[in-house]
Chains A and B, each alone.
Chain A
């Protein structure tokens, strides 16, 4: 077998270096936003939301509340990973950290 082409090997290493430098970074907790939960898709793979609570600057107990029914009220997610389809904006469930899901009731506005 003929020897490896050294210049091409250097180019490949450059490509690997560039790929590492440009890899998408994971969102840190302070980059996550809180969203009001709306519904899940029938197959359970999408979490639809109605409001980006963080972007609106709303605070729980002042602007909104979660009533006592045990259900998903809000959840945390990285805003750059939001998608939209015919049913509205959503996140894939695997992009939503389980620890950020608030199962304390149904989202409701406070006047």
Chain B
């Protein structure tokens, strides 16, 4: 990578990195919250224990909104980035498990962040955001940006 390109990339990372993560988590959390009944039904169709569905239906949007909230404040950004890393790792692992047929059936992808995406497309979107979180977290820890 040339110095100029690297400079542009770092500038993009500093400016847009946290912004994209805030956009992702505020959108994902509130989208679920605005249609909680719908999200609850979708979770019931996932290959997870039925007893977990109501807990996740309430907990996931709250965690996502909390992550977005933490990313807004400089003092809580580290916590927000770790939460983002944890949530995205979980989501990516779950989608990977579906794609690798770890579950007896493939559930509908209607409850995902973008309802029109296939599971495979979801996986790559998650990987991209996971990579972004790692890069932003690394810069935040080492350069306090």
Q: Which residues of A contact B (CB under 8 A)?
A: 1-2, 4-5, 7-9, 11-16, 18-20, 22-24, 43, 45, 81, 83, 85-86, 92, 94-95
Pick from B41, B72, B75: contact of A94, CB below 8 A. B41
Q: Are A20 and B34 in contact (CB under 8 A)?
A: yes
Q: Are B68 and A83 in contact (CB under 8 A)?
A: no
Q: Are B72 and A12 in contact (CB under 8 A)?
A: yes
- Across the two chains, which residue of chain A brings its CB closest to B37? A94
Q: Are B41 and A81 in contact (CB under 8 A)?
A: yes
**Interface presence of B27 (CB below 8 A):** yes
**Interface presence of B83 (CB below 8 A):** no
* A-B CB pair tally, cutoff 8 Å: 77
Q: How far is the CA of A74 from the CA of B105 in the complex (A)?
A: 27
Q: Are A5 and B74 in contact (CB under 8 A)?
A: yes
Q: How far is the CA of A20 from the CA of B92 in the complex (A)?
A: 25
B34 to chain A, nearest CB (A): 4
- Across the two chains, which residue of chain A brings its CB closest to B50? A45
B44: chain A residues at CB < 8 Å are: 45, 92, 94
B40: chain A residues at CB < 8 Å are: 94
A5 to chain B, nearest CB (A): 6
Q: Known: A12-B23, A12-B68, A15-B22. Is A4-B73 also a contact (CB below 8 A)?
A: yes
Total interface residues on B, using CB and 8 Å? 32
Q: Are A11 and B35 in contact (CB under 8 A)?
A: no
Q: Are A8 and B18 in contact (CB under 8 A)?
A: yes
Pick from B34, B41, B69: contact of A23, CB below 8 A. B34
- Across the two chains, which residue of chain A brings its CB closest to B69? A12
Pick from A8, A16, A24, A85: contact of B19, CB below 8 A. A8
Q: How far is the CA of A7 from the CA of B17 in the complex (A)?
A: 12
B131 to chain A, nearest CB (A): 20
A81: chain B residues at CB < 8 Å are: 41
Q: How far is the CA of A8 from the CA of B71 in the complex (A)?
A: 8
B1 to chain A, nearest CB (A): 27
Q: How far is the CA of A10 from the CA of B69 in the complex (A)?
A: 12
Q: Are B34 and A19 in contact (CB under 8 A)?
A: yes
B35: chain A residues at CB < 8 Å are: 23-24
The 8 A CB mask of B26-41 against A (1 = contact, 0 = none) is 1111110111011011
Q: Are A23 and B75 in contact (CB under 8 A)?
A: no
- Across the two chains, which residue of chain A brings its CB closest to B19? A11
Q: Known: A11-B19, A15-B30, A19-B30. Is A95-B41 also a contact (CB below 8 A)?
A: yes
